[in-house]
Amino acid sequence: MKRVLVFIVMVLLVVGVQAQKKSVFDPVRVEDLRMDDAKAGYGTWFLRINTTLSATTAKLSFDEAGEFNGFESAFLSRIGFGPAYAHYIEKDGQAVNNYSINAFLLTPTEGFTNLAIASTFSMYNVNIGLGYDIIKDQPFKKNIFLMFGVQMTL
C-alpha cells in the first residue's frame, strides 16, 4: 500500500513538472506571467521547490495521564524542503510569489534526529502550517506540531 501511495505522489509531481514550460529550478520571469488576451488582473500557478526554516514550532504537550497541558515551543528548530504549488503575480516589473501551498520534509537543526512532514500555507515569505514528527512508538497526538516560519522559493 505504501508503495502505491509513493508511486501516485511521484506521478503527480512529474506530471506537474512536465506541464510547465521551463524547469522547476529556473526563475519565474514576468514574461512567463503575461497573457495577451488578459482583460483583468492575472497570475499564474507554478510547481516550484521551496526551502523553509521554521522560526517557531509549537508542539502539543501532554502530562503523564495523557491530558493536554499546553504547548512546548522551539525557536529555529527545523529546516527542510519540498514541493510548492505557487501563485505568481507581477509587481513593479518583477514576478512575485504572493501565496503558495507547500509540503515539506523537515529535519531538526539540533538534538534528536528524526524526520517530520509538514503542510503549510504561505503568503509572500511567511509560512504557517501543521506538521507531524515521524517518531516510532510514540502516540500520534504527541507528534503533532504547529509551524510558523519563513520560506525561499527556488
3-state secondary structure string across the chain: CHHHHHHHHHHHHHHHHHHCCCCCCCCCCHHHHCCCCCCCCCCEEEEEEEEEEEEEEEEEEECCCCCEEEEEEEEEEEEEEEEEEEEEEEECCEEEEEEEEEEEEEEECCCCCCCEEEEEEEECCEEEEEEEECCCCCCHHHCEEEEEEEEEEC
What pLDDT shows up at residue 137? Answer: 83
What pLDDT shows up at residue 75? Answer: 81
Is residue 48 within 8 Å of residue 23, measured between CB atoms?
A: no
Is residue 34 within 8 Å of residue 135, measured between CB atoms?
A: no
Segments making up each domain of the chain, as ranges? 23-153
What pLDDT shows up at residue 32? Answer: 72
pLDDT along the chain (154 residues), means of 10: 70 55 68 64 77 81 81 83 86 84 86 83 86 83 83 65
What pLDDT shows up at residue 65? Answer: 78
What pLDDT shows up at residue 8? Answer: 74
What pLDDT shows up at residue 41? Answer: 58
Question: Locate cell 507531524: which residue?
Answer: 132
What pLDDT shows up at residue 124? Answer: 80
What pLDDT shows up at residue 125? Answer: 78
Task: Report in angstroms the alpha-carbon separations of 144 from 16, 127, 134.
Answer: 29, 17, 9
Q: What is the dihedral of CA 30, 33, 35, 40, to 10 degrees?
A: -100
